Amino acid sequence: MAEAAKPPQPFTLRLRRYDPESGDAPYWEEHTVELAPHRSVLEGILQAKARFDGSIGIRCSCRAAICGSCGVRINGQPGLACHTHLDRALRSSRDGVIEVEPMGNMPVIKDLIVDMDAVHWKKIQRVTPWLINKEPIPEREYIVPRESMVDVTQSMACIQCGACVSDCLSMEVDPLFVGPAALAKSYRFVGDPRDAEQYERLKDLAEDPHGIYDCTHCFKCIDACPKGVAPMSQIMRLRRRAGADHHIEDRNNGLRHEEAFVNNIRKNGLLHEADLLPDSYGGKFHPRAVPELVSSLPAITKALLRRKVTLRKALLHEHRREFKGLRRYFDTIEGHEERYELNLYITGYDEDEEGAEAPTASSAAGPGDGGMPSAESGQPGQSPEESPTR
Ligand code: SF4
Ligand code: SF4
Ligand code: FES
């Protein structure tokens, strides 16, 4: 039997208010609204606006987690205001008050509204967000392998809310970084066999010092995304396509750095930072490494002073030891005949394949589902059994 709806109860919202045109500093303002606990934070804000202060700025449209307009930070975490229940938000609050502020990494236009044009959309435009079709155009239609479409489904799920951009740590230190949403968008076309310029797209993003190698794998965008797009995973796929498939050696040294990283761990068991930088540039005495070593001297000195690296360890490789099983990981991963691409977005069985042994879409893309969203629900955590897909 369906659970009876809970009656309305008071929720206090602490909203960050700011009007750049006023010349005043930002400030917090609290309003108590009365709503059933399953109603959304957006409904709470709209009630506060209707009852107490019509000047509260919030952007919204669909109220159904589809249009991506209502991105905000709730108790410090980015998300959709229309997709966050009040009771859940209350549970994650520090002091019993639900704190709502605008998304990060984008200028505030007013209160909870940020300037998406200035950052998010500009970056999306940067990656040529449309298909450049192959010639000649077929008389009827392009026939695309099913697996290829499964491969790009995850990036196609993006609703352009900007939550990943809001929390991207690389973008915080390098505002020119192309960023998680735009790079995920780029994979949508790089992974599409109908696109004629996959190599050019990859070359462009590998050579750009703010491109695919500017991501620091912090996972923030994966946590932030309300649609399970996993932008960081799409960036890693762009890198694999650029490096392993097209052998693009970028001038930023991104590919060599990645290779040096893997070889360093293979050789040492643990990351041996003292070797990483010179190896990334071809070895300690490679002409390319010298200027980099010189320019990194302040960082090296800091690391020595903080004992992150000691001269003894750096020179004598004292830390090197065999890690049981480590080589097995390398052998297993490198021994695959085909590379697994972990598109975890779609899980389930084809309805017309009764008794099929493996989940169709996810097996086409790679093993495991990791509790990611199903195609039907768009919600994390639904298992294939719970969610048969088309
Ligand atoms: S993983 Fe990369 S793209 Fe994603 S938030 Fe971190 S730095 Fe940004
Ligand atoms: S990738 Fe996710 S978080 Fe980023 S804009 Fe798209 S839907 Fe929003
Ligand atoms: S109002 Fe459309 S996603 Fe929230």
Domains and CATH numbers, the chain: 9-114 (3.10.20.30), 117-245 (1.10.1060.10), 254-335 (no CATH)
**Angle made by CA atoms 233, 236, 242, in degrees to the nearest 5:** 145
**Angle made by CA atoms 140, 127, 124, in degrees to the nearest 5:** 105
Q: Is the CB of 238 under 6 A from ligand 3?
A: no
Sites in the chain below the pLDDT cut of 70 = 1-3, 313-324, 342-390
Q: Is the CB of 104 under 6 A from ligand 1?
A: no
- Cα 221 to Cα 165: distance, rounded to the nearest angstrom: 7
- Cα 362 to Cα 283: distance, rounded to the nearest angstrom: 41
What was the pLDDT predicted at 252?
86
Q: Is the CB of 172 under 6 A from ligand 1?
A: no
- Cα 113 to Cα 332: distance, rounded to the nearest angstrom: 48
CB atoms within 10 A of CB 202: 24
- Cα 160 to Cα 62: distance, rounded to the nearest angstrom: 13
For the CA of 61, the closest atom of ligand 3 is 1
Tokens of 324: 């049981």
Select from 160, 187, 345 the residue to mutate for testing ligand 2; criterion: most ligand atoms less than 8 Å from CB.
160
How far does the centroid of ligand 2 lie from the alpha carbon of residue 229, in Å? Answer: 7
pTM (2 d.p.): 0.83
Q: Is the CB of 149 under 6 A from ligand 1?
A: no
Select from 73, 154, 164 the residue to mutate for testing ligand 2; criterion: most ligand atoms less than 8 Å from CB.
164
Select from 127, 165, 219 the residue to mutate for testing ligand 1; criterion: most ligand atoms less than 8 Å from CB.
219
Contact yes or no for 207/158 (Cβ under 8 A): no
Q: Is the CB of 161 under 6 A from ligand 2?
A: yes
How far does the centroid of ligand 3 lie from the alpha carbon of residue 372, in Å? Answer: 21
How far does the centroid of ligand 2 lie from the alpha carbon of residue 272, in Å? Answer: 35
How far does the centroid of ligand 1 lie from the alpha carbon of residue 235, in Å? Answer: 9
User: Treating both helix axes as pointing N-terminal to C-terminal, what angle do 273-280 and 254-268 enclose, rounded to 10 degrees?
Assistant: 140
Atom 4 of ligand 1, nearest CA residue: 221
How far does the centroid of ligand 1 lie from the alpha carbon of residue 232, in Å? Answer: 6
For the CA of 60, the closest atom of ligand 3 is 1
- Torsion angles phi and psi, residue 13, rounded to 5: -110, 135
Contact yes or no for 281/292 (Cβ under 8 A): yes
CB atoms within 10 A of CB 99: 20
For the CA of 179, the closest atom of ligand 1 is 3
Select from 59, 80, 160 the residue to mutate for testing ligand 3; criterion: most ligand atoms less than 8 Å from CB.
80
For the CA of 161, the closest atom of ligand 2 is 8
